[in-house]
Structure 1
Amino acid sequence: MMICLKKCMGSVAIAIMAMTVTADAVSQTPSHREELPNAPASQLLAQTGVQLSGANSVSATTTPRQNQTPSSSSSPANRTKLTRSQAEQMAIKNNPQVSVARLLALAQHQVYRETRSSELPIANAAITGVEAEDASRISAGSLTASRLFTHAGAGGGFSQLLTDFGKTRNLVASAVLQDKAQKANALATQFDVELATDQAFYNALQAQETLKVAQQNVTTRQTLQSQVNQMTINKLKSTLDLSFADVSLSQAKLLSLDAQNNADSTMAALDAVLGIDHQEEFELVDDGPDTRQPPPDIDQLVQASLKQRPDLQATQFSQQAAEKFSHAQRDQMFPTIAASGTVGSVPIRPSQYYTTNWWGGIGVNINIPVFNGFLYSAQAKEASLRAQAASEQTRDLRDRIVRDVRTAWLTANTSYQRVSVTAELLKEADLGLKLAQTRYQMGLSSIVELSQAEYQQTDAAIGNANAQYQYRLALATLNYQVGSVP
């Protein structure tokens, strides 16, 4: 009695352990796996006349979506093929962030033209006709006492800045540097969008691959459930094994639903990066280069990043522009010298008051600021402090770029090593699964051992596939940090 009780308790423990293993297996993202073997104890099945499908009956061409809720996604045959380079070009063309950055750069160039206008001559023309009481004077509403005459005349005037001792020159230089900074920001935005496109592209690829594996997993579990069901009918397996197979099948279906949702979400994220305002399904094609080792010289990458990063260039231009502006604010306290002139004709005039029909004159004006409540000195101090702050911001960005390049390089190297390690792990897991299948066919092991081997092979396949995509994404991130996004 005690021996029988121990055997029963052992069987229950094995079943509980099997369910736990399966729950852990389906909680992980699945991948392609080996096909299921024949049912165990085939010699007994032959005696009963039960015909079951063999290990090779479940092929990769089997319809993967059976027994699942239909999805609204279009079939692969109707999808447009999209490579990573094509996705980047589409994002640069359609993404609104790139358009905004370019428009701001064009607007900043007009600011430069506005500032430079102070160095150029200003000319204007006027035509005036007056009907008035001759020799009358304005006696209200004005401090002047100009006399009014009936007349008609036309003339023009001009003014030209001669010198303001560097103020306008520094303002123009500051505007030029701000123009360059905005162009560098536009390029940095383009790099950001390209990196975001790569991330969304590889995430969508991973999600689609996971969905394929989840669908195949449902097919595989369905086949296993059918086999166990037939063996249970023929009294070769207990209802506990059938219940275990039913649970595994239900969990596989739930996993497939989650994978479908994840695939749709990542595709929606990719559509947003591409600047598409509606749902569009693509057949993603990975056109990335073959796996290659990251550059070995980290110091060379750091130096290249400090020369090529457009966001650092933008910050440096902004710092130089702030310094020029601080000099311009200081130069406000210097005199301003400008020339002006006017000339014109009065063909219609009272002859008793006008001795000639034209006028003209030219002169030089010197404006010397004396006191304005310390306004100019306060503005100069403010601009100087902001220039110092801009210098510190540039130094902070340089430090962060060095850190990010080193971190990206370390991540790329680790990802590169993971590719070979996961490939070896997948090879070992494949071998373990084949051995477990052989033992299962010979009736030397239970379904628990096969499920464990299958879970290990699935996990290894997922790790190998993810390692490939993660390494390519790590390379794209490293190129971005260096400032050489292809």
Structure 2
Amino acid sequence: MKRILFVVAILTGLTVSAQENEQLSLKEAINFALKNKAEAIKANLEVKNSELKISEVRASALPQINANGDLTYNPILQQSAIDFGGVTQIITMGQPWQSTASVSLNQQLFNLAVFTGLKAAKTTREFYQINADLTNEQVIEKVANSYYEVYKTKSQLKTTELNLANTSRVRDVIADLHRNGLAKKIDLDRTNVTLNNVKSTHLQLINSLQLQENALKYLIGMDINTTINLPESTFEITANAFSTDGDFTDNRTEIKLLEKQTELLELNKKATRAEGLPSLSLKASYGYLGIGEEFPWFQSYPGAYWSDYSAIGLNLNIPIFNGGVVRSKTKQAQIQIDMLEADKKDTQLALDLDFKNAVAQINNSLIAVNTQKENVTLAKEVLSNIENNYKNGLSSLTDLLDAETSYTDAQNNLTNALLSYKLAEIQLIKSKGELKSLN
């Protein structure tokens, strides 16, 4: 039994270790967010809710059937005076008990407002679908930006760990030289100060990384206690964003949403105008009337008299004068359309600006990345040469510490340049309306 438990423990440990080491790619993070983040879930629920709204509006165009029942007891019956050949007689009208049971039907035959409302409901569904797409794109953008921020900090942490190892090694060399009387104590103290500063930076980056990972987990709707790891290829420069030929404005979800809003406002204007048009409906009813001196339980009950009745007719409503209400409301609807058209033009200008800026930014970022790569190579060579010179007494400790700082700064500058490139890449993909390609 102990051996079995031991084997199970080992297998469980391997499973946990595999889960902890599982890498989370950007695509996986985005897909996880689109399934679990509240904004994306609510946007999809809005689409489902629009289907119910269509059913609601469609119901007004379908036959309306209602059943009605009524029971009345008249303790005092109304009397009426009737003249019969010059003689006035008082006659009691009705019976103490009266009961009715009927079924009525009403069907719209022509009502432009109702039929326009049905078209508007279908357009509303399309509007919510586009709005859901826009929400998903916003989620993708936030997740991608947060994802790259995490990777930037992880890269800086890796650089700091290398710097910490290198500084510790130099400190050990100087400490050994000091013990042999070949180095000054002040050199050892300065190296220890530098080492402590690097350790402090290392701890700060660990804390910052924890906060950023938690923020990323929140953005994608993941349990905060879940361990995530990012693949090493996250900061690779890809070519999928460099196609800048053509007009991408029409691909933007923001424009599609405004166009669908325009359709809705046009339908609203049409429905408003329809309020001043005639409407025609069919109505029909069938029922039973029971009266008597006793409670009319059913048709064969003594003292109760039952008879059926029915009616079929048309109801025509022709608006003649409403004080100009419809005309005013129609003009207001047109003003809303004009205002939205102005917003659409302004949005197109803003999107064109975003595209031009994104192209310029990604080109500048590429230049910065290439420059920083060269700086890292040069700083590494300088550090290696000065370290050798210091061991041979040809360089001072200050030169060595400055070279280490320059190398670390060059690596961090390269990381920042890569982050700027990836953020610019997101903005360029967004300006082309292709954010969905990231998931």
Alignment of 1:314 onto 2:260 = no
**Range with greater deviation from structure 2 (211-220 or 269-278):** 211-220
Distance 1:349 1:401, change over 3 A: farther
Report the AA paired with residue 264 of structure 1: Q
2:188 corresponds to: 242
Distance 1:340 1:255, change over 3 A: same
**Residue 329 of structure 1, aligned match among 226, 250, 272:** 272
**Distance in 2 between the 1:85 and 1:227 partners?**
46
Report the AA paired with residue 119 of structure 2: A
Q: How does 1:59-74 map to 2 (within 5 A)?
A: none
Report the AA paired with residue 268 of structure 2: F
CA positional deviation for 1:212: 2.5
**Distance in 2 between the 1:169 and 1:388 partners?**
24
1:429-456 CA-partner distances (Å, limit 9, x unpaired)? 2222222222222211111222222222
1:117 corresponds to: 59
Report the AA paired with residue 177 of structure 2: M
Alignment of 1:391 onto 2:333 = no
Distance 1:478 1:418, change over 3 A: same
1:17 corresponds to: none
Distance 1:98 1:148, change over 3 A: farther
1:271-326 CA-partner distances (Å, limit 9, x unpaired)? 111113533331122565953446555342xx2x3333223212210121012102
1:437 corresponds to: 387
Q: How does 1:423-434 map to 2 (within 5 A)?
A: 423-434=373-384
1:268 corresponds to: 214
**Residue 280 of structure 1, aligned match among 213, 217, 226:** 226
**Distance in 2 between the 1:464 and 1:365 partners?**
79
**Residue 339 of structure 1, aligned match among 282, 286, 290:** 282
1:184 corresponds to: 130
**Distance in 2 between the 1:460 and 1:161 partners?**
76
Q: How does 1:20-31 map to 2 (within 5 A)?
A: none
Q: Does the 8 A contact of 1:214 with 1:252 survive in 2?
A: yes
2:33 corresponds to: 91
Report the AA paired with residue 284 of structure 2: G
2:5 corresponds to: none
Provide the secondary structure at the position in 2 that maps to 1:81. coil
1:455-477 CA-partner distances (Å, limit 9, x unpaired)? 22222222333434443343333
Report the AA paired with residue 425 of structure 1: N
Alignment of 1:160 onto 2:107 = yes
Report the AA paired with residue 333 of structure 1: G
Provide the secondary structure at the position in 2 that maps to 1:338. strand
1:92-133 CA-partner distances (Å, limit 9, x unpaired)? 111001011111222233223323333222111224444545
CA positional deviation for 1:382: 2.2
**Residue 215 of structure 1, aligned match among 161, 169, 188:** 161
Distance 1:219 1:337, change over 3 A: same
1:4-35 CA-partner distances (Å, limit 9, x unpaired)? xxxxxxxxxxxxxxxxxxxxxxxxxxxxxxxx
Query: Considering only aligned residues, what root-mean-square deviation do their CA atoms show, in Å?
Result: 3.0
Report the AA paired with residue 117 of structure 1: A
Report the AA paired with residue 463 of structure 1: N
1:175 corresponds to: 121
CA positional deviation for 1:241: 1.7
CA positional deviation for 1:386: 1.4
Q: Does the 8 A contact of 1:294 with 1:413 survive in 2?
A: no
1:459 corresponds to: 409
Distance 1:124 1:76, change over 3 A: closer
Q: Does the 8 A contact of 2:286 with 2:311 survive in 1?
A: yes
Q: Percent identity?
A: 22
Q: Does the 8 A contact of 2:171 with 2:191 survive in 1?
A: yes
**Distance in 1 between the 2:24 and 2:378 partners?**
34
Distance 1:238 1:356, change over 3 A: closer
Distance 1:355 1:361, change over 3 A: farther
Provide the secondary structure at the position in 1 that maps to 2:312. strand
Q: Does the 8 A contact of 1:181 with 1:315 survive in 2?
A: no
Distance 1:451 1:148, change over 3 A: farther
**Distance in 2 between the 1:221 and 1:435 partners?**
16
1:447 corresponds to: 397
**Distance in 1 between the 2:433 and 2:243 partners?**
16
Provide the secondary structure at the position in 2 that maps to 1:207. helix
Alignment of 1:382 onto 2:332 = yes
Report the AA paired with residue 429 of structure 2: N
Alignment of 1:414 onto 2:378 = no
**Distance in 2 between the 1:410 and 1:147 partners?**
91
Distance 1:286 1:87, change over 3 A: farther
Query: Which segments of 5 or more consecutive residues in structure 2 lack a partner in the other structure?
Result: 1-15, 80-92, 294-298
**Residue 318 of structure 2, aligned match among 368, 375, 386:** 368
TM-score when normalising by structure 1: 0.74
**Distance in 1 between the 2:69 and 2:172 partners?**
100
**Residue 102 of structure 1, aligned match among 40, 44, 52:** 44
Q: Does the 8 A contact of 1:136 with 1:148 survive in 2?
A: no
**Residue 206 of structure 1, aligned match among 144, 152, 170:** 152
Q: Does the 8 A contact of 2:278 with 2:318 survive in 1?
A: yes
2:203 corresponds to: 257
Q: Does the 8 A contact of 1:88 with 1:197 survive in 2?
A: yes
**Distance in 2 between the 1:222 and 1:148 partners?**
111
Provide the secondary structure at the position in 2 that maps to 1:283. coil
CA positional deviation for 1:252: 1.0
**Distance in 2 between the 1:136 and 1:211 partners?**
97
**Distance in 1 between the 2:362 and 2:20 partners?**
36
**Distance in 2 between the 1:225 and 1:256 partners?**
17
CA positional deviation for 1:233: 3.9
Q: Does the 8 A contact of 1:429 with 1:456 survive in 2?
A: yes
Which has the higher relative contact order, 1 or 2, with Cα contacts under 8 A spaced 6 or more apart?
Answer: 1
Query: Which segments of 5 or more consecutive residues in structure 1 lack a partner in the other structure?
Result: 1-73, 138-145
Alignment length (residue pairs): 400
